[in-house]
Amino acid sequence: MRFQLSPEEIQSIVNSKHVCGNFEGNITKISSLQEAQLGSLSFLANRKYSRDAATSKASLLLLPEGFDCTPGINQAIFFCENPSIALAKICQYIEKFNAHPTPPEIHPSATIHPSATLAHHISIGPNVVIGEHVSIGENTVIGAGTFIGKYTSIGCDVKIFPNVSLMSFSEIGRHVILHSGVVIGSDGFGFEKIDGRLEKIPQIGNVVLEDFVDIGANTTIDRARFASTIIGRGTKIDNLVQIGHNVKIGKNCIIVAQVGIAGSVTIGDDVTIGGQVGIAGHLHIADGTQIGAQSGVTKDTEPHSILLGSPATSFKEAVRQFASLAKLPDFLKKFSKILPDDC
């Protein structure tokens, strides 16, 4: 995004308690410590890059409080409690400043059922389809090509990017963000073998997204067989995640790309799930659990446990197993020398 901020404007955003040096000019880009040039803003969040901070050509640096660094010529340093959070605040400001306000309007190509209820200040893009008895709250923006099924409710201040599918009876809270390709309320994967044939089990429940939920591009969340699949308040889900029917996810969870969660799993609050994790059906993932990337979870977890591996085990045990596995070829070579030839 294009932007131009003076050091004074940045100070008003981050409210640094200790400023060192001076830069006369405007910040026009955000760069890494190594790539920064005149007009760049950069930051140090990981101490292993401390040397880069000392030699960076950035015009303005965000550094941790107490970090020993002397500003160069025409360079300012803002010392912050958490430079990463300070940078996030600046990015939020830039994003908000660059966002072109969408005038509340309904594109003439949109198809809206007469029974739908639309609040004030709503923007509806081209070729949107809104079914019967849908309700949409104030200040909601719906991108082009989105489908909203019957009896779906959408809260206020919701941002729906183009080509999202909200199937019938979905419930979307306030301040929810749905990125392109998201499918909410697709049929759960339910079949029974009857007379040697797989017969589809009707999935007559719905999906509930509570307030402040973010769903990444091309993520799918299945409707419940009955009752609701629920995503808790403040939970953030990355791209390409599959969530099965009747899953219940708690508050403020983070679920990273390519995770697959089988049906009827319950996940507590503040759970973090790394990329490409698979979770078997009907399990309980306790509050505060952290699951490392590419793990396969096959049993319930204890609160605040840290898991890794497939099948997932404690982080310490998994690291020990990985280290042992790496030594296995040498061990087998040595072991083969002491075995009789006929073994």
Catalytic residues: 245
Cα 132 off chain centre by: 31
DSSP string for 255-313: E-TT-EE-TT-EE-TT-EE-TT-EE-TT-EE-TT-EE-TT-EE-S---TT-EEETTTTE
Quote the tokens at residue 85.
């959070």
Closest of 87, 65, 93, 61 to residue 76, by C-alpha:
61
Q: How far apart are CA 317 and CA 307, in angstroms?
A: 9
Burial of 173 (0-12, 13-18, 19+ CB in 10 A): buried
Residue 206 · residue 229 · CB < 8 Å: yes
Compute how many other C-beta atoms are within 10 angstroms of the C-beta atom of residue 196. 5
